[in-house]
Structure 1
Amino acid sequence: MKLTRTLTAAFAAVALALAGCSGGGQTTEASSSQLVLGNNGDVLTWDPAEMKEGAVIHYAEAVYDPLLRKTPDSTIEPNLATEYEYNADLTELTLKLRDGVTFSDDTAFDADAVRVNLEARKKGAGSASEAARVIERVEVVDKSTVKLHLSEPSPGLLAGLATYLGYMASPKALAAGGIATTPVGSGPYLLDAGNSEKGVRYTFTSREGYWNRDAFPFETVVIRPYEEFTARYNALTTGQIQFMYGTPDMVPKAKTDGLTVATVPGEWQGIILQDRAGKVSPALGDVRVRQAINHALDRKAILDTHYGGLGQVSTQTFNPASEAWVPSLNERYPYDPAKAKELLTAAGYPDGFTIKVSFSEGFMSPLVPIVAQYLGDVGITVEQVPVNGFANGGLETLKGQPAFMLSFSTNIPAWTDVLNKLTPTSLWNNFQYTDATVTRLLKEIPAAQGDQQAALYKELNTHLVEQAWFAPIVTQENVYLSKPEIDVTMQQAQLMPSLRFFAPAK
């Protein structure tokens, strides 16, 4: 398959769209006291229990403080919880809480507030819900101490408490039921509703008396959602925003335009073959078909051309710096159309078959036709099913599709990826599929530690690759573009660097 011509045309279109965007002449919103971020999309809800993992983290971090927090290398450290300690068998986690913290409605932050929040997360349907399931009971030991009683050890619990599970909202606001539309948190900023417009601009002003002001140097933060990359880039070069998540093809022009380009190993892109039991697409129920799909993809050609070499070919869905990563697995499915056809024939599909592959329009649109052409070369006809952005119901549409393409974050610890994609109740396992090996390993991994746990993670990863639960293409270098007037510290294993890692340029 010839990939160059297809992508050259696509890149030329992008270049034409971006040409003339430099310089601009529009007045920037930015100043040394204001940070203006371009976001991948709108915020659907302000309820931490319903928020979905991804770029929405900037909205959350503006108004909610987490119990713990992540360093740039994803090490966990204290935040609203000043100390944390497990018991010997890892089934109780005790948190000592920071004194003197209040929510923006002047409600006190204390142990009971933590209890109310964690119980609310257990009832939600967002990214926090999987991490919260393991919490059987939240015991209020005293005003400044809570003890989480767990049904079993959970390697991802601390990371969860550093993000959506740990975001603290006012218990008074949670009880009143308006948290979805009006955020009330203990975070560094307040949503300025009068200077905000849904889907266009969200303005946050510094909260007086916030306990950790030095970590958030900007007096005002503005978040402007753009679901379309070209519009976001245009906004950056014309000074309407100062930061955005970019794409590899933007890098050469961004450097010419005087923007700061930073990268960090991050997301994997490819196909989630979620109908592994063949309920909707019977062919996917045969592991040989899923393996054929993997052999049909020329990952190296796609990496070099579509991603500009920013990343590495990959057959696995974990973070390269995590304990689950097995470098040799990336050689498991070399590009081999003849092998793919052989597997399809053995599975009873000598003439191929048709499969629906859905995707969120905009972000994945350039990649889907490339994948469709490779699969078509071995007899698999892809019926492309574009869906609306998640802000317009796209997430619900994906749930019933046998396969879909998105860009998926990879995490440290690897257990976060387990909770996101591998359990029967995971957000990205909508067909609730599992098998005996995965079920066993998901029991054994939390109970192990150190080298033993790492070995079990690697066993899990190897099994997933052999059984072709997914058809990854690359683990890409996430691309971030910013104006030179701000400094941004890159962060491992998180789609967007936390707001704490933005500062005026020195």
Structure 2
Amino acid sequence: MQLPRTLTAALAAVVLTLAGCGGGENSQESTSSQLVLGNNGDVLTWDPAEMKEGAVIHYAEAVYDPLLRKTAESKIEGNLASEYEYNDDLTELTLKLREGVTFSDGATFDGEAVKVNIEARKEGAGSASEAARVIERVEVVDASTVRLHLSEPSPGLLAGLATYLGYMASPQALAAGNLATTPVGSGPYLLDAGASEKGVSYRFTARDGYWNREAFPFATVVIRPYEEFTARYNALATGQIQFMYGTSDMVPKAKSDGLTVKTVPGEWQGIILQDRAGKESAALGDVRVRQAVNHALDRKAILDTHYGGFGQVSTQTFNPASEAWVPELNERYPYDPAKARELLAAAGYGSGFKIKISFSEGFMSPLVPIVTQYLGDVGITVEQVPVNGFANGGLETLKGQPAFMLSFSTNIPAWTDVLNKLTPTSLWNNFQYTDDTVTRLLKEIPAAQGDEQAALYKELNTHLVEQAWFAPIVTQENVYLFRSDIDVTMQQAQLMPSLRFFAPNN
């Protein structure tokens, strides 16, 4: 996620320990036994059913194991479910569970635990709920075997079971109803509440007897939330944290400060034009207006200046490595202010119109005035509506706005993006808009496989671009900065590399 780009940091020392780093920590442990992460924001809830996709994944992974897991290339493999198999028509998924696993409160991980967790996800309002919607019934075949009965095939189900849908919490904690404030999972770490301070620092200690300890080599993990990028960089440069999600303009400074820089194709940034039916903004109900917005943006200039060339211009919202990607679609909306004004005139807005565009304050602040200027040049007057960060109710404010700007993850498989943004119940489709073509394709894609499915994905992507559901600007390179005492394996199609991909740099 992008935030302000002003940097004032300097490297305080070449070799630092993490003692006295603030936030309630005074650890005397060496840096090889402690991992300290700078996070994009605070954790709002510990309940996997309510968690929203994004940087919060590090908090979740510390305390919860998923049923499946993603490799660095976003392939799916076993985890708590050591084996999985679909039936022939892809409407039943059988999971063979790992035996001998317990939750941190001593409860046994078994088929009944999986059943109550998945049923809880179906009732939640987080990222897992959309992936869980297709699960009609959870059958406990025996203590180590569970069968998921689906209403229809779901290409994103395995990826869901590797993240929020698959995070397993103690059935006892679920029954007690206090999971939102007190996480109880089967994961590699325990939250040390006494050494943690909400909004400042969260400390996790390695859990005795954890079944996969070699995958998580640090004795302790500390996560410190910083919503402001400059503060996070200062913390990294002075050794208070070891890792952060960065921005492209930080790269020269980071390299001169001796930090490691890695990148991976990741998020798209731009505008979600969610009021496509014109309920709040009549103009957005006309596809010509939405197309005009796309023609008004000089994506190449924005990429070269604002993003420092870290990424590629894009008119599409899927991952470049996914089956939905169509390279030639990026040529659909060349920068053409005259064409934008022509489309506006044809739609009855030759004199222009006003539109509210909301954004998370601080989060997208540098990009908003750039977009405002380009739209203003063709007669679209932007009323900027800054909202609080998500930790302070900003998400609820965004839901009612006709358009908003955020940074959005792109996923493999592409169906995860479908569930996030394209269904009438998707988290980022708050006006519940759809059309006949999208409705048809969302039925046909899950029932297809291989080349046929890929062709349908491309048809869907092409339709979305032609109908201008969005106004993307770039698919950016996610930038990660970290200190030399750790190593991090980059992970495709996930905002933050999973904790399994962090290791001491010996």
TM bucket normalised to smaller: over 0.9
Q: Tell me if 1:28 matches 2:27.
A: no
Per-residue CA deviations over 1:354-378 (Å, capped at 9, x if unaligned) read: 1000001112110000000000000
Q: Which amino acid aligns with 1:211?
A: W
Which residue in 2 is equivalent to 1:389? 389
Contact map agreement 2:38 2:226 (CA 8 A) in 1: yes
Which residue in 2 is equivalent to 1:269? 269
Which residue in 1 is equivalent to 2:116? 116
Which residue in 1 is equivalent to 2:24? none
Alignment of 1:30-109 (within 5 A): 31-109=31-109
Q: Distance in 2 between matches of 1:485 and 1:26?
A: 10
How far the C-alpha of 1:26 sits from its partner, in A, is 8.0
Q: Which amino acid aligns with 2:388?
A: N
Contact map agreement 1:49 1:120 (CA 8 A) in 2: yes
3-state SS of paired residue (2:165):
helix
3-state SS of paired residue (1:77):
strand
3-state SS of paired residue (2:317):
coil
Which residue in 2 is equivalent to 1:179? 179
Tell me the C-alpha RMSD between the 2 structures.
1.1
Which residue in 2 is equivalent to 1:4? none
Per-residue CA deviations over 1:376-408 (Å, capped at 9, x if unaligned) read: 000001111111100000000000000000000
Which residue in 1 is equivalent to 2:462? 462
Q: Distance in 2 between matches of 1:278 and 1:21?
A: 51
Q: Tell me if 1:259 matches 2:249.
A: no
Q: Distance in 2 between matches of 1:83 and 1:364?
A: 42
Contact map agreement 1:25 1:238 (CA 8 A) in 2: no
Which residue in 2 is equivalent to 1:443? 443
Distance 1:21 1:362, change over 3 A: farther
Q: Distance in 1 between matches of 2:151 and 2:178?
A: 31
Per-residue CA deviations over 1:24-80 (Å, capped at 9, x if unaligned) read: 998634611000000000000000000000000000000000000000000000000
How far the C-alpha of 1:276 sits from its partner, in A, is 0.3
Per-residue CA deviations over 1:124-182 (Å, capped at 9, x if unaligned) read: 00000000000000000001000000000000000000000000000010000010000
Q: Tell me if 1:360 matches 2:360.
A: yes
Contact map agreement 2:153 2:446 (CA 8 A) in 1: yes
Q: Distance in 2 between matches of 1:37 and 1:351?
A: 50
How far the C-alpha of 1:23 sits from its partner, in A, is 4.0
Which residue in 1 is equivalent to 2:323? 323
Q: Distance in 2 between matches of 1:486 and 1:324?
A: 35
Which residue in 1 is equivalent to 2:372? 372
Q: What TM-score, normalized to structure 2?
A: 0.96
Q: Distance in 2 between matches of 1:82 and 1:76?
A: 11
3-state SS of paired residue (2:41):
coil
Q: Distance in 1 between matches of 2:210 and 2:295?
A: 54
Q: Distance in 1 between matches of 2:234 and 2:366?
A: 19
Q: Distance in 2 between matches of 1:306 and 1:25?
A: 33
Q: Which amino acid aligns with 1:264?
A: V
Q: Which amino acid aligns with 2:32?
A: S
Distance 1:200 1:295, change over 3 A: same
Q: Distance in 1 between matches of 2:65 and 2:236?
A: 28
Q: Which amino acid aligns with 2:128?
A: A
3-state SS of paired residue (2:284):
helix
Which residue in 2 is equivalent to 1:300? 300
Q: Distance in 1 between matches of 2:212 and 2:487?
A: 19
Q: Which amino acid aligns with 1:439?
A: T
Alignment of 1:189-228 (within 5 A): 189-228=189-228
Which residue in 2 is equivalent to 1:483? 483
Q: Which amino acid aligns with 1:100?
A: G
Contact map agreement 1:289 1:347 (CA 8 A) in 2: yes
Distance 1:260 1:141, change over 3 A: same
Q: Which amino acid aligns with 2:295?
A: H
Per-residue CA deviations over 1:441-476 (Å, capped at 9, x if unaligned) read: 000000000000000000000000000000000000
Q: Which amino acid aligns with 2:451?
A: D
Q: Which amino acid aligns with 2:279?
A: K
3-state SS of paired residue (1:164):
coil
Q: Distance in 1 between matches of 2:354 and 2:405?
A: 16
Distance 1:25 1:143, change over 3 A: closer
Q: Distance in 1 between matches of 2:484 and 2:365?
A: 30
Which residue in 1 is equivalent to 2:428? 428
* Greater mean deviation of Cα atoms: 307-316 or 24-33: 24-33
Which residue in 1 is equivalent to 2:351? 351
Which residue in 2 is equivalent to 1:6? none
Q: Which amino acid aligns with 1:114?
A: V
Which residue in 2 is equivalent to 1:419? 419
3-state SS of paired residue (2:407):
strand
Q: Distance in 2 between matches of 1:21 and 1:442?
A: 51
* Greater mean deviation of Cα atoms: 28-37 or 325-334: 28-37
Distance 1:22 1:272, change over 3 A: farther
Q: Distance in 2 between matches of 1:315 and 1:501?
A: 31
Contact map agreement 1:280 1:402 (CA 8 A) in 2: yes
3-state SS of paired residue (2:223):
strand
Which residue in 1 is equivalent to 2:22? none
Q: Distance in 2 between matches of 1:39 and 1:361?
A: 17
Q: Which amino acid aligns with 1:416?
A: T
Q: Distance in 2 between matches of 1:44 and 1:132?
A: 21
